[in-house]
Amino acid sequence: MSWMTNALKPIGLVWFANFLTSSIGKKLLMSLSGLFLILFLPVHLIGNLQLLAKDAGVSFNLYSYFMTHNPLIKTVSYLLYFSILLHTIQGLLLWRKNKKARGNIGYAVSALRGDGTNVKAASNMAWLGIIIFVFIAVHMYQFWLQMKLGKVPMVMIEGTEYKNLYEPVVLAFSNPGFVIFYVVSMIIIGIHLNHGFQSSFQTLGLNHKKYTPFIKYIGRIYAFIVPFGFAIIPIIVYGRNNLWW
Amino acid sequence: MKLTLKIWRQPSQNVKGKFETYSLDNVSEHMSFLEMLDVLNEKLSFEQKVPIAFEHDCREGICGTCSLVINGQPHGPLQGTTTCQLHMRNFKDGETIVIEPYRASAFPVLKDLSVDRGALDRIIQAGGFISVSTGQAQDANAVPIEKDVASHAFDAATCIGCGACVAACPNSSAMLFTSAKVAHLALLPQGKVEAQKRVLNMVRQMDLENFGNCSNITACEAECPKGISVSNIALMNREFLSASFSSNDAN
């Protein structure tokens, strides 16, 4: 009996606890939290692209004000934090279980092959995920936490005072080491998404010869375009400030 | 052909094993892989040494008893082929071949290259069957089944339960095996009667046997000697989801 079974027993949901703690239920949680993060990324990207507007950060600062004050977005953001934590913790627990299932003695010769996905990425999702989590932690400390704690300079836009998040972001992107760290992290996210996108549909049971090839196709495009869009921003900002583009 | 064979030797389950190197001369390219091992064992017996334990039965590629991981691949390099149907013409003269047992916590090594695959039998016992009343056999065509459905069920039914999917999976997951058995019966009218109970019980048993979780790596499909498709895993996920939320069992 797991802690979840004990917790859900008084309300008659033992079956639901059994479902969530089964191997398929655990993977379903990975799939749903992953799909939510997949939905979130393009929204985040569209916001970030405003860093490229040549208006000294006015549109970006107005956008970040909106994101931190709109009640609907604030509610969804809690779901986002929950999804990141759930996806990370559940992923690490599954990783540990899978390593145990494999046993102590590995193969002397390994010749992993697979169909229709990148087997190297697919079998290293945990490592890729750990790197991504480190990136998210650095990212949230650097921008999100500073914004929340108010350690951000203020700026006047049309007579109203706003937090100037634009300034620390541009400052961070003028550090070549950080730009490289950011771009490499985006490549890792792309590899993780390339497997994760189509894999999440398969886990949900959505596999059909009519639409699975399409899902795989869209997944590959998504896994390229979204990280590419994120990665190009620090490169352009760095270029503008240091190479006089 | 002259071959160098690096073979895993382990006297029993709880004794540490190691690789031993053997050299074998005059191997005919027409021999099957298992016949090559027979020749090696004959030589070892003649030299008063302990022959190598490996599993085999029908030697026709239909029983699922033979196993082995040959140069890192379950059932060797040829796709869609069991070890017994793999012939030595697929190897080069002078080649070194590494032969290992299946590696999974759920498949403990019994001796040398033979492992205990009883976990798969227990998954079948948990629900991989249909209950039929005895009596006069029904006419074969009395229950109409659409051709596409029958073909799909048959494709799933070709699983011989050899466990190559578990051996190939970096997570040692038995999802391909279990899903083939679930799909085979769930697709047919005779299997629909117990479909919900079956998928719940078989997945529960699979989890109890300490197999890993499916990460959709698809190494199982690539190494399966019968070409079982991972679409069966998606089908089992659907069956499990719907049975969890709608079966008559309160738990």
Instruction: Say whether both B154 and B47 belong to one domain.
Output: no
pLDDT at B11: 97
Q: Is A121 within 8 Å of A192 (Cβ atoms)?
A: yes
Domain assignment of residue A6, yes or no: no
For residues A99 and A104, give the distance between their C-alpha atoms in angstroms, rounded to a whole number. Answer: 8
Report whether pLDDT(A80) > 60: yes
Domain assignment of residue B238, yes or no: yes
pLDDT at A245: 56
Number of domains in chain B: 2
CB B213 to CB A94 under 8 A?
A: yes
pLDDT at A27: 97
Specify the residue for token string 């004050």.
Answer: A69
Query: What CATH number is given to the structural domain containing A134?
Result: 1.20.1300.10
B58 at interface of A, judged by CB pairs closer than 8 A: no
Confidence of residue A12 (pLDDT cuts 50, 70, 90): confident
β-strand pairing of A154-157 with A160-163: antiparallel
Please state whether the predicted TM-score (pTM) of the whole model is above 0.80: yes
pLDDT at A1: 53
Name every chain A residue with its beta carbon within 8 A of the beta carbon of B233: 202, 207
Q: What is the token pair recorded at A149?
A: 């704690």
- Integer angstrom CA distances of residue B219 from A233, B52, B224: 37, 28, 8
Instruction: Say whether both B153 and B237 belong to one domain.
Output: yes
Give the pLDDT mean for A198-205: 96
For residues A124 and A222, give the distance between their C-alpha atoms in angstroms, rounded to a whole number. Answer: 20
Name every chain A residue with its beta carbon within 8 A of the beta carbon of B210: 100-101
User: Which among A100, A102, A111 has the least Cβ separation from residue B73?
Assistant: A111
Rounded to 10 deg, the angle between the A23-48 and A71-102 helix axes is 140
CB B104 to CB A101 under 8 A?
A: yes
Q: Where are the alpha helices (DSSP H) in B126-158?
A: 147-157
pLDDT at A122: 92
Instruction: Say whether both B33 and B134 belong to one domain.
Output: no
pLDDT at A144: 85
Instruction: Say whether both B227 and B154 belong to one domain.
Output: yes
Confidence of residue A2 (pLDDT cuts 50, 70, 90): confident
> If 0-12 CB within 10 Å is exposed, 13-18 middle and 19+ buried, where does residue B62 land?
middle
Residue range(s) defining the domain that contains residue A93: 24-99+112-242
Confidence of residue A112 (pLDDT cuts 50, 70, 90): confident
For residues B191 and B251, give the distance between their C-alpha atoms in angstroms, rounded to a whole number. Answer: 22
Number of domains in chain A: 1
Residue B5 DSSP code: E
Instruction: Say whether both B176 and B79 belong to one domain.
Output: no
Instruction: Say whether both B57 and B7 belong to one domain.
Output: yes
A112: closest chain B residue by CA: B219
Query: What CATH number is given to the structural domain containing B14?
Result: 3.10.20.30
Report whether pLDDT(A150) > 90: no
Asked if the interface predicted TM-score (ipTM) of this complex is over 0.85, the answer is: yes
3-state secondary structure of B68: coil
Give the pLDDT mean for A80-106: 96
CB B230 to CB A113 under 8 A?
A: no
Name every chain A residue with its beta carbon within 8 A of the beta carbon of B13: none
A212: closest chain B residue by CA: B231
Name every chain A residue with its beta carbon within 8 A of the beta carbon of B237: 24, 27-28, 202-205
**What is the Cα gyration radius of chain A?**
21
Q: Which of A13, A18, A23 to mutate to test the interface with B (most CBs of B within 10 A)?
A: A23
β-strand pairing of A160-163 with B114-115: unpaired
Share of chain A above pLDDT 70, in %: 98
User: Which among B19, B221, B240 has the least Cβ separation from residue A108?
Assistant: B19
For residues B51 and A187, give the distance between their C-alpha atoms in angstroms, rounded to a whole number. Answer: 51
Instruction: Say whether both B36 and B129 belong to one domain.
Output: no
Give the pLDDT mean for A196-214: 95
Share of chain A above pLDDT 90, in %: 73
Instruction: Say whether both B124 and B232 belong to one domain.
Output: yes
For B124, phi then psi, to 5°, come to -65, -45
Query: What CATH number is given to the structural domain containing B142?
Result: 1.10.1060.10
CB A102 to CB B170 under 8 A?
A: yes
- Which one of B83, B111, B139 terminates a domain? B111
Rounded to the nearest integer, the mean pLDDT of chain A is 92
Domain assignment of residue B251, yes or no: no
Domain assignment of residue B216, yes or no: yes
Q: Is A193 within 8 Å of A132 (Cβ atoms)?
A: no
CB A24 to CB B217 under 8 A?
A: no
- Which one of B52, B76, B111 terminates a domain? B111
Taking only the tens place, the pLDDT of each residue in B116-174 is: 999 999 999 999 999 988 888 888 888 899 999 999 999 999 999 999 999 999 999 99
Instruction: Say whether both B36 and B89 belong to one domain.
Output: yes
User: Which among A108, A116, A207 has the least Cβ separation from residue B234?
Assistant: A207
Domain assignment of residue A9, yes or no: no
Instruction: Say whether both B31 and B62 belong to one domain.
Output: yes
Domain assignment of residue A158, yes or no: yes
Residue B31 distance to chain A (closest CA, Å): 24
Residue A170 distance to chain B (closest CA, Å): 39
Instruction: Say whether both B145 and B102 belong to one domain.
Output: no
Instruction: Say whether both B29 and B124 belong to one domain.
Output: no
Residue range(s) defining the domain that contains residue B62: 3-111
Domain assignment of residue A152, yes or no: yes
Output the DSSP codes for B171-186.
T---HHHHHHHHHHHH
pLDDT-flagged residues of chain B (< 70): none
CB A103 to CB B104 under 8 A?
A: yes
Residue B66 distance to chain A (closest CA, Å): 18
- Which one of B111, B134, B160 terminates a domain? B111
